[in-house]
Amino acid sequence: MIPAEHEDEDPGEAELFEHYSFEAASGQEPLRIDKYLMNLIRNATRNKIQQAARDGNIRVNDQVVKQNYRVKSGDVVRVLFEHPPYEHLIKPEAIPLNIVYEDDALMVIDKPAGMVVHPGHGNYSGTLVNALAHHLDDMPMNSDNRPGLVHRIDKDTTGLLVIAKTQQAMAHLARQFFEKTTEREYIALVWGNVEEDQGSVEGAIGRNPKNRLQMQVFPEGEQGKEAKTNYEVLERFRYVTLVSCRLETGRTHQIRVHMKYLGHPLFNDARYGGDRILKGTTFTKYRQFVENAFAILPRQALHAHTLGFTHPESGAWMAFRAELPPDMTACIEKWRHYTRHVPDE
């Protein structure tokens, strides 16, 4: 199955959860571990098992092994992943959802700030997946065994997500994201005056080797995965800029990382340094103004504004728009007022 896109998904701590554990029977003839696990794990494919081995998720006697390891009598084989085994942890919870659209194949929701998309380390309840488990009788699994999720956004990013309700819809929508035929626009408030009215950022994105909670750009492509973000300036507020970002790929924290790479971190993005005064004056009144703006918008200024895709059953083009949430609107209006009424320092 095609992997789900995960723009802005929080990489989080690298905690592994055991999904399967087997002890090779006495008299077990040496057998490649991918073949051994295919015989024991329901619906497993050789490709998935081999990928798990390449990712370091298969261990024998507590040692990471490669896909060509031969299991022998007495070996204890464990398969671990960074996400919990959902059949044990997903509990339906009556959490309200802002449903923009729903039919038998899919639903589109407008996610609020503060809602984690899927259960993980430190977040085993109150997530979007817990809410979906209450709302839907049955949910298809994506390639990461995460129910219903075709793409994901970070906890403190607001806006549109499409959820698959059938396995057919999951496969069809995942294919669209993989082939880059969907349309996604994000609205972001970034530090500094973005000089070009429009442009593109291209640079592979991978995990920061010095800080596993951050991603970074590898401009030569020596690490990470290719990523491209197109941006356009919507409005300038002297020391910050409102921009529209359209994704051609969906990497973890893509917009946040690409804009920082350009020298324009997202406003109040604590993970990437945007929660400090990066542009402006040293005057006390200005410092107080920015701190008040941080208080109004206590998160990174990023919103999944529009979403377009082909309906997996009807073939019709579906287009949705989610207006900016109140906290982001209030912060932008505060900067707009400042630009109009405070003289240049």
Two structure tokens written together for 166: 């059938």
For residue 114, the one-letter residue type is G
Q: How does DSSP assign 265-322, residue by residue?
A: PBTT-GGGTTTS--SS---HHHHHHHHHHHHHS-S--EEEEEEEEE-TTT--EEEEE-
Strand order in the sheet with 58-60: 17-23, 76-81, 58-60, 63-64
Nearest to 301 by CA among 279, 280, 322, 270: 270
Whole-angstrom distance, CA of residue 230 vs CA of residue 280? 26
Q: What is the largest CA-CA distance in the chain?
A: 84
Instruction: Let me know: does 132 contact 120? Beta carbons within 8 Å.
Output: no
The b-or-e profile of 7-44 (16+ CB within 10 A means b, else e) is bbbbbbeeebeebeebebeeeeeeebbbebbeeeeeeb
Instruction: Cite the DSSP H helix spans in 29-90.
Output: 33-38, 46-54, 86-89
154 part of the active site: yes
CA distance 53 to 61: 14
Of 10, 154, 269, 327, which is the active-site residue?
A: 154
| Closest among 77, 17, 209, 102 to 67, alpha carbons compared | 77
Q: Kindly give, in sequence order, each residue whose CB lies less than 8 Å from that of residue 323, ignoring residues fewer than 6 positions away.
A: none
3-state secondary structure of 89: helix
Q: Helices 326-341 and 284-296: crossing angle, nearest 10°?
A: 160
Residues in the chain: 345
Within 8 A by CB and 6+ apart from 195, the residues are none
Report the catalytic residues. 154
